[in-house]
Amino acid sequence: MSAIAEASAASPGSLRSSHWELWVGGILLTGIVVLALLGPGIAGHDARFVDLDHRFVPPFSTGFVLGTDQLGRDLVARILHGLRWSFATALCATLLASVIGTALGLLAARSGSLLGKTIRQVTALAQSFPVFVLAISLVAVVGNGFVAIAAILGLVTWPVFCRIVQAEAQSLFAREFVMAAEMLRMSSLRLYVRHILPGLVASLSVVIPFHFADMLIAESALSFLGIGAPLGAATWGNMLQESRSYLLTAPWLMLVPAAAVVSLVISANLLGDGLRRRLA
Amino acid sequence: MTVVAVEDLSIGRSPSQPIGRSPSQPSGRSPPQPIVQGLSFAVRAGEVLGIIGESGSGKTLTAYAIAGLLPAGLKTLGGRIQIEGRALAELHADERRALAGSRIGMIFQDPLSSFNPVRTIGSLLIESGMRHRRLSRVAARRQAIAALAAVRLPDPATTVDAYPHQLSGGQRQRAMIAVARFNDPALLIADEPTTALDATVQLQILALLKGSLASSALILISHDLRVAASMCDRILVMHRGRCVEQGDAQQVLQTPKHAYTQRLIAAVETLTEGSAPACQAVEA
Amino acid sequence: MNRMALAGLRWLRELFLLILGTTTALFFLLRLTGDPAVVLAGADATDAQIQAIRSEYGLDRGLAAQYTSYIVSLARLDFGRSLADGTPALAKALTAFPASLLLAGLAMLTALICAIPLGVWLGARRGGVARTIVRWLVFTLQGFPGFVVALLLVQLFAIELTWLPALGYAGPASWILPAVSVASFLAPKLTRMIEANVFGALDSPYVRTARAIGASDREVLWHHALPNALLGAASLVGAQFVFIVTGLVIIETLFAWPGIGWLLVQSTTNLDFPVVQAITLVTVTTVFLINSLIELVQYRLDPRLRRHNPVTLEAQA
């Protein structure tokens, strides 16, 4: 690389080493995953246990680290329960969308076929399509519940992955080593697995954390609107919705789940940003 | 008259802004090698100096240092540069900026990316004229059309309002020369002006350059010895940031003293199958 | 002229495909869980009511016949009647539309007013420590989902300080919190996009040419880098517009803002499917129209896109 190019290559304000974001995001997420795996059990209270003697206990009180809500339920337990729900839903939705999107994207990258053209057209139209509205319509028909929500979110967001995979795959197909492999009559499956997929890993790795964050927000939003997780279930969205009636008297009922959502989203964004600097 | 005089020039990373290094590196490290070191040369009015070398030899950086275009993170570490007798280091930032475009004209390698795609060709000329010659917009536009005609662009009155993507590569490079020459600079620097062009077009552009000299000095940067041979009065060969040989063009090409220069010439001869580097006079 | 006609036809075809695709999707959506009559009749309908719905909507006929009559009635703009109050579904959706348009417009304006100056400032690389801090603030804000921002704003400005109303749609004071909340869906991302564009523009070769003719830092930024950077950002901004719809749905519900998003959530909760259908179509069409408008504006402004009128200079390179 010429001296000038090296000197001018500075990504926006990356005054610090790119490893910073990657490590912090990664560690935070790992910690959160551990919490999720440990589950609400560590809270010492049951998430659904209604304790009318201890309603509206503020945070940092003895016995209730994050306080209790309007029905005396321990917030730590509820937050952990919500963590499991949100994390699992977002993860499944992301996995589903990435698998479908990658598969369709690979098909779409093959210019010739009618199938490819159709997928490309659909993906292009999907770009200006308000998927959240579609998700809501789907929930109206199919119902809520973990599987339904995860499936719906995954099924409406595959175009994100499809677009990226399609673009990358197209440029990969045009590169010489792939043409060489094709000339050697390598079987399609082997071609895809050995040559194309590794090339996609970098871009996919960057998109996945961001998509995970988006799914998280979408799921919380659905719960918040009352369309997501069943009412009464301890999810962050539900907790935020319920907190609205008590904003004056018990603001921590809103602040605690809000902080939880924000922390998880920021961790995912950090990881995504770190990966992007590392791999792009 | 000496237009530009360079003495013992060194260019390197500015020590306070290490590029791409994490702050975790201990600051007691010795500064890295300068990219250009110990360079000295001078060019007189009407003279063509060719700076020859391979990619990464530092020739473009030298040009940028003279024109004041060093990217952030690089600076002149030592030595002097004098333009028309004035030392650049002693000039105010504003005075230095006033030189660019009025006393120094620069022609870049890739004419497509060197023009702003959303602005017309003429806008650059008009801006230059209004800034350095205090012309009114109307007068500057007239001069711009004249300048485009002088570089033999067809239909200059329309071209002045054209966008870069509407011209061919050769036409864009002509326009670039028009911009560089607009305020009659004392020094013209052409950085690989023909590398991005088709072979047929290259000769025409070089002819145009040679013809525009008048009383200006021209520094022609190239990695192509044949280009240097056809155009230059003197040649300076750079290798890894240092000058390895400098002198009269014919002498350097026919009796090279340094091993690197000999290798360069040998490489060209292999390509042209043994014939001596063509010293064709380029029709102006 | 011919070229424009062709482009117009292509646009119409896209619009047609979009609407056809959406309506077909909705058609099959309804039949996903088996009996659409049950869904349409509502949660606690009697068998007689379900049967009435079935014959009214022709759901006892074959699938092809159903689809045909479905498409035909949609072409006549007959979206059926709301199950909640019997009013025509399309009319109900369109009544709620202006309020959403107002909120969307205010939100977009707010987002741009914040994002453009901030993005330009950040991308122009001045400001040292302040710049780093602001960048991290923008990044952090991106982690706040819009409804969290709304709740926090309500907590601060409506509950604690009581400066602004927490609900409703009456007068400009009630516009502020909802508009800012919807804007927060977009503003951080827009800021980073504009920053990246400006930053990239400042590194480009044509900026070097500008400096070679003596342009100052200020002139480089305003006359050479920004026109390019902002034009480039325009298409990115357009692509983000669709997320305003998401914001509208959530924020309107939060603030009881009588727009199309609020109606959608209500209708979904009530399983008022004809209205859900009407809203979906209205929304999809509107987003498409707005994106087309943005593309048109871009086409007018960006010379590179107007390739069809090259200056016919002779090939005398």
Every domain of chain A and the residues it spans: 2-279
pLDDT digits (tens, 9 = 90+) for C275-307: 888 898 899 889 889 888 888 888 888 877 765
**Residues C138 and C185 occupy one common structural domain:** yes
Judging by DSSP bridges, how do beta strands B234-239 and B104-107 pair with one another? Answer: unpaired
Which residue do the tokens 């052409």 mark?
A: B190
pLDDT bucket at C308, cuts 50 / 70 / 90:
very low
Residues of C in contact with A82 (CB under 8 A): none
Does residue C268 belong to any structural domain of this protein?
A: yes
Residue range B33-57: mean pLDDT, rounded? 87
Alpha carbon dihedral B50, B53, B56, B61, in 10-degree steps, equals: -20
b or e along C79-106 (b: 16 or more beta carbons within 10 Å of the residue's beta carbon)?
Answer: bbbbbeeeebbbebbeebbebbebbbeb
The predicted structure's pLDDT at residue C180 = 93
Residue range C34-49: mean pLDDT, rounded? 71
Q: Do A9 and B72 touch (CB under 8 A)?
A: no
Those residues whose C-beta lies under 8 Å from the C-beta of residue B93, and which sit 6 or more positions away, are: none
- Residue C313 clears pLDDT 50, i.e. is over it: no
Does residue C305 belong to any structural domain of this protein?
A: yes
Give the least confident one: A1-10, A46-55, B150-159, C204-213.
Answer: A1-10
Distance, in Å, from the CA atom of B195 to the CA atom of B210, rounded to the nearest integer, reads 17
**Residues C120 and C250 occupy one common structural domain:** yes
- Min Cα distance A17 → chain C (Å) is 14
- Residue A122 CA: distances (Å) to CA of A25, A64, B164: 34, 51, 35
* Residue pairs spanning A and C at CB distance below 8 A: 132
The predicted structure's pLDDT at residue C310 = 46
Residue range A42-61: mean pLDDT, rounded? 74
| Contact call for residues C238 and C294 (beta carbons, < 8 A) | yes
The predicted structure's pLDDT at residue A14 = 45
Q: Is C242 on the interface with A (CB under 8 A)?
A: yes
Distance, in Å, from the CA atom of B253 to the CA atom of B34, rounded to the nearest integer, reads 28
**Which of C260, C266, C250, C262 has the alpha carbon at shortest distance from C90?**
C260
Q: Do A16 and B58 touch (CB under 8 A)?
A: no
Indicate if ipTM > 0.90.
no
Distance, in Å, from the CA atom of B92 to the CA atom of B163, rounded to the nearest integer, reads 35
Higher model confidence: residue C42 or residue B80? B80
**Residues C238 and C147 occupy one common structural domain:** yes
Domain that includes residue C145, residue range: 101-273+301-316
Alpha carbon dihedral B243, B248, B254, B257, in 10-degree steps, equals: -40
The predicted structure's pLDDT at residue C34 = 61
* Three-state SS at B262: helix
Higher model confidence: residue B90 or residue A186? B90
- Min Cα distance A15 → chain B (Å) is 8
pLDDT digits (tens, 9 = 90+) for B103-129: 999 999 888 889 998 899 999 999 999
The pLDDT > 70 percentage for chain B reads: 88
Is the sign of the CA dihedral B12, B17, B18, B20 positive or negative?
Answer: negative
Interface with chain B: mutation pick from C311, C312, C314, highest number of B CBs within 10 Å: C311
**Which numeric CATH code is attached to A2-279?**
1.10.3720.10
Structure tokens at A95: 């996995």
* Cβ neighbours of C196 (radius 10 Å): 19
Q: Is B55 on the interface with A (CB under 8 A)?
A: yes
Residue range A105-120: mean pLDDT, rounded? 80
Is the sign of the CA dihedral B114, B116, B120, B125 positive or negative?
Answer: negative
Is the sign of the CA dihedral B249, B250, B254, B257 positive or negative?
Answer: negative
The predicted structure's pLDDT at residue B278 = 47
- Residue B44 clears pLDDT 70, i.e. is over it: yes
Structure tokens at A23: 């490590």
Q: What is the DSSP string of chain A?
A: --HHHHHH---TT--S-THHHHHHHHHHHHHHHHHHHH-GGGGSS-TT---GGGTTPPTTBTTBTT-B-TT--BHHHHHHHHHHHHHHHHHHHHHHHHHHHHHHHHHHHSSSSHHHHHHHHHHHHHTTS-HHHHHHHHHHHH--SHHHHHHHHHHHSHHHHHHHHHHHHHHHHTSHHHHHHHHTT--HHHIIIIIIHHHHHHHHHHHHHHHHHHHHHHHHHHHHTTSSSPTTS--HHHHHHHHGGGTTT-THHHHHHHHHHHHHHHHHHHHHHHHHHHH-
Residues found in chain B: 284
Q: Do A12 and C195 touch (CB under 8 A)?
A: yes
**Residues C118 and C70 occupy one common structural domain:** no
Structure tokens at A145: 């519940």
**Residues C30 and C120 occupy one common structural domain:** no
Angle between helices A131-142 and C242-255 (to 10 degrees): 60
**Residues C151 and C35 occupy one common structural domain:** no
What's the mean pLDDT when you consider all of chain A? 80
pLDDT bucket at A13, cuts 50 / 70 / 90:
very low
**Which of A251, A242, A248 has the alpha carbon at shortest distance from A71?**
A242
**Residues C209 and C145 occupy one common structural domain:** yes
Residue range A235-246: mean pLDDT, rounded? 89
- Min Cα distance C210 → chain A (Å) is 17
Residues found in chain A: 280
The pLDDT > 90 percentage for chain C reads: 28
Structure tokens at A197: 């997929």
Residue range C10-34: mean pLDDT, rounded? 81
The pLDDT > 90 percentage for chain B reads: 29
Distance, in Å, from the CA atom of B257 to the CA atom of B245, rounded to the nearest integer, reads 7
Those residues whose C-beta lies under 8 Å from the C-beta of residue B113, and which sit 6 or more positions away, are: C204, C205, C206
* Residue pairs spanning A and B at CB distance below 8 A: 36
Interface with chain A: mutation pick from C191, C236, C240, C246, highest number of A CBs within 10 Å: C246
Q: Do B19 and A10 touch (CB under 8 A)?
A: yes
- Residue B27 clears pLDDT 80, i.e. is over it: no
Residue range B2-11: mean pLDDT, rounded? 86
Highest mean pLDDT among A100-109, A240-249, B252-261, C91-100: C91-100
Does residue C259 belong to any structural domain of this protein?
A: yes
| Contact call for residues A50 and A56 (beta carbons, < 8 A) | no
Those residues whose C-beta lies under 8 Å from the C-beta of residue C181, and which sit 6 or more positions away, are: C146, C147, C149, C150, C153, C247, C251, C254, C255
Does residue C217 belong to any structural domain of this protein?
A: yes
Residue range B203-232: mean pLDDT, rounded? 85
Alpha carbon dihedral A9, A15, A20, A21, in 10-degree steps, equals: -80
- Min Cα distance B166 → chain C (Å) is 5
In this complex, the chains that touch A, judged by 3 or more CB pairs closer than 8 A, are B, C
Residue range C12-21: mean pLDDT, rounded? 87
Residue range B2-27: mean pLDDT, rounded? 66
* Cβ neighbours of B200 (radius 10 Å): 9
Q: Do B116 and C313 touch (CB under 8 A)?
A: no
pLDDT digits (tens, 9 = 90+) for B240-275: 888 888 988 888 888 888 888 888 888 777 665 544
- Residue C90 clears pLDDT 60, i.e. is over it: yes
| Count of domains forming chain C | 2
Give the global pTM. Answer: 0.82
| Contact call for residues A202 and A165 (beta carbons, < 8 A) | no
**Residues C67 and C126 occupy one common structural domain:** no
Structure tokens at C225: 């880098």
Mind spelling out the 3-state secondary structure of chain C? CHHHHHHHHHHHHHHHHHHHHHHHHHHHHHCCCCCHHHHHHCCCCCHHHHHHHHHHCCCCCCHHHHHHHHHHHHHCCCCCECCCCCCEHHHHHHHHHHHHHHHHHHHHHHHHHHHHHHHHHHHCCCCHHHHHHHHHHHHHHHCCCHHHHHHHHHHHHHHHCCCCCCCCCCCCHHHHHHHHHHHHHHHHHHHHHHHHHHHHHHCCHHHHHHHHCCCCHHHHHHHHHHHHHHHHHHHHHHHHCHHHHHHHHHHHHHHCCCCHHHHHHHHHHCCCHHHHHHHHHHHHHHHHHHHHHHHHHHHHHCHHHCCCCCCCCCCCC
**Residues C232 and C140 occupy one common structural domain:** yes
pLDDT digits (tens, 9 = 90+) for C126-166: 768 888 899 989 999 999 999 999 999 988 888 777 777 77
Phi, psi at B13, each rounded to 5°: -70, 140
Please name the residues between 253 and 282 in chain C that touch chain A, using a CB distance below 8 Å. 253, 264-265, 267-269, 271, 273, 276-277, 279-280
pLDDT bucket at A178, cuts 50 / 70 / 90:
low
pLDDT bucket at C311, cuts 50 / 70 / 90:
very low
**Which of B113, B109, B111, B115 has the alpha carbon at shortest distance from B223?**
B109
With CA atoms as reference, the chain B residue closest to A19 would be: B22
Residue range B182-211: mean pLDDT, rounded? 87
**Residues C186 and C60 occupy one common structural domain:** no
Give the least confident one: B85-89, B193-197, B207-211, C126-130.
Answer: C126-130
**Residues C144 and C222 occupy one common structural domain:** yes
- Residue C17 clears pLDDT 50, i.e. is over it: yes
Q: Do B108 and C313 touch (CB under 8 A)?
A: no
Phi, psi at A247, each rounded to 5°: -60, -30
Those residues whose C-beta lies under 8 Å from the C-beta of residue B251, and which sit 6 or more positions away, are: none
What is the Rg, in whole angstroms, of the alpha carbon atoms belonging to chain B? 20
The predicted structure's pLDDT at residue A111 = 65
Q: Do B74 and A9 touch (CB under 8 A)?
A: no
The pLDDT > 70 percentage for chain C reads: 91
**Which of C30, C86, C22, C17 has the alpha carbon at shortest distance from C58?**
C30
* Residue pairs spanning B and C at CB distance below 8 A: 104
Those residues whose C-beta lies under 8 Å from the C-beta of residue A67, and which sit 6 or more positions away, are: A56, A57, A58, A59, A60, A61, A75, A250, A252, A253, A256
- Min Cα distance C223 → chain B (Å) is 9
With CA atoms as reference, the chain C residue closest to B176 would be: C209
Residue range A215-221: mean pLDDT, rounded? 92
Alpha carbon of residue A19 to chain centroid = 22
Looking at C57, C75, C93, the residue that finishes a domain is: C75
- Residue C108 clears pLDDT 90, i.e. is over it: yes
| Contact call for residues B160 and B125 (beta carbons, < 8 A) | yes
Please provide the distance, in angstroms rounded to a whole number, between the alpha carbons at the two ends of chain B: 23
- Residue A168 clears pLDDT 50, i.e. is over it: yes
Higher model confidence: residue A218 or residue C24? A218
Residue range C6-17: mean pLDDT, rounded? 88
pLDDT digits (tens, 9 = 90+) for C181-202: 999 999 999 999 899 899 889 9
One-letter amino acid of B11: I
| Contact call for residues C190 and C240 (beta carbons, < 8 A) | yes
Residue range B186-209: mean pLDDT, rounded? 86
Higher model confidence: residue C243 or residue C32? C243
Residue range A114-140: mean pLDDT, rounded? 82
| Contact call for residues A8 and B17 (beta carbons, < 8 A) | no
Does residue C80 belong to any structural domain of this protein?
A: no
The predicted structure's pLDDT at residue C224 = 92
Looking at C75, C92, C126, the residue that finishes a domain is: C75
**Which of A219, A250, A251, A246 has the alpha carbon at shortest distance from A235?**
A219
What's C242's domain CATH number?
1.10.3720.10
- Residue A51 clears pLDDT 80, i.e. is over it: no
pLDDT bucket at B130, cuts 50 / 70 / 90:
very high
